[in-house]
Chain A
């Protein structure tokens, strides 16, 4: 025995301290950010903050109703576009992983994931805003949908690849057509993973500002028409935080607070979805 037990215990302790230290360093900023936003934001948060429109400079009070509704609208439409497309592509990827189309498309999805959001914003501006001559929630939704796609596609693909072949064969052997097997057997078996990807995708884009700058643009009023300019939480934070007025800075903190809470809740939801719809193989 070359190393004494004491020396080994010391090594063990040293590594344990090191690991705890590293974990603390990585978690501390997150907690600091949350605490700071909480402190700054909580003072302006009240029911009125959520149900009122922003007021002109100089007047106290005012809320972010337009942004809350706008964000919800833009993200809901984005999800409506991205979910069917993303899940379909994910199914294709998991089913046909040896074709040439797969390799090209897979690479394309990887690249799409890496495209900076501001670039997506500009592209959508050129394609959808300029030709129609106006900013709109829809163009913002399209930009966000593009950003959600990779997350939905990848999680669908990865989850469905884990669904055992025996399940598919069981269905086919009962005379169930291929498409029906995919829809009624394979997708339900991977539902938890797919939902996970969808919620994470939504969480990811709900804080995106850049793609909305040139597309949804912003709107001081509540708007339900997806063809008109629409406010959103990240936009309102950006506009108010860069303004010279203290009142607006406060609104920006409040909006940041709401946004962070929403994203936290979405992340917690993914954990719940994972548990609830997890299926045993």
Chain B
């Protein structure tokens, strides 16, 4: 197996005195989709928020352990540089409401003070929107506000905004939980297409979704990484009783 793009070693995270992640050791392979599953409050979101260091911005939130991205310790990198390499899509679509669709896609560059030529910008915007399968729907309205779009479109706009930065790793925090089934299936199709060029870490509540899109599945329970393996293995032959109970719908 080639070396993992993301590796955590004994990762612990806390909110004040609450210990929310306990000794998590996980590896994410390049160009794969890893799903993170588990019941509410098991630390799934906290885990991916540790990966781009958003976790530590919450008051009293701390973490320890090691996370490396392409072999580089992320706690030794500047958080802003790290976040330019690691894209994130949130549970609820959050396009910048003061900006147009075009400006939203390019926001990662403009807000960071990168000056691009008009042609470069146009190219990035078109490419990213095409990748997010939104181009055909918005190409005539690029300069309208992003908030005029439907929820599903807004979420794809947010995906385009992350892709525009060409992230080494894309984090998705329950990206479809606020969306209707059709939008959800569109986004799932996208994820499968992204595999060839991106590495994806997706938090999901939806087991079917994990089964449909992911190559690897990690199961979190009460802050611990109970089990982590190929998705097919997890779904057909889980080693732990909690995983099995969760997958068979006995709790969750």
Contacts and interface: CB of A to CB of B under 8 A. Distances in A.
Interface of A: 98, 164, 166-167, 169-177, 180-181, 184-185, 188-189, 191, 279-281
Contacts of B95: 170
B85 to A, nearest CB: 8
| Chain A binding surface, main DSSP class | helix
Contacts of B92: 166
Interface in B38-81: 52, 54, 57, 59, 80-81
Interface stretch (B15-23, B105-113, B132-140, B190-198): B105-113
A180 B112 contact: yes
The 10 lowest CB-CB distance pairs between A and B, nearest first, are: A175-B84, A175-B83, A173-B88, A166-B94, A174-B108, A176-B111, A188-B98, A170-B94, A279-B97, A280-B147
A25 B244 CA distance: 72
B111 A171 contact: yes
B90 interface: yes
B179 interface: no
B83 A172 contact: yes
B80 A176 contact: yes
A167 B111 contact: no
Interface of B: 52, 54, 57, 59, 80-85, 87-88, 90, 92, 94-98, 107-108, 111-113, 145, 147, 158, 161-162, 165
Contacts of B96: 167, 170-171, 185, 189
A136 B107 CA distance: 46
A90 B11 CA distance: 37
A177 B94 CA distance: 18
B173 to A, nearest CB: 10
A98 B90 contact: no
Nearest to B165: A174
A172 B98 CA distance: 16
Given A184-B111, A185-B111, A167 B80 contact: no
Contacts of A184: 111
Contacts of B158: 170
B57 A172 contact: yes
A175 to B, nearest CB: 3
B54 A174 contact: no
B165 A167 contact: no
Contacts of B97: 167, 189, 279-281
Given A180-B111, A180-B112, A185-B111, A174 B94 contact: no
Nearest to B83: A175
A175 B54 contact: no
A169 B94 contact: yes
A170 B90 contact: yes
A175 B112 contact: yes
A154 B49 CA distance: 32
Contacts of B87: 173-174
A174 B111 contact: yes
A190 to B, nearest CB: 10
A188 B111 CA distance: 13
A215 B104 CA distance: 49
A176 B112 contact: yes
B58 to A, nearest CB: 10
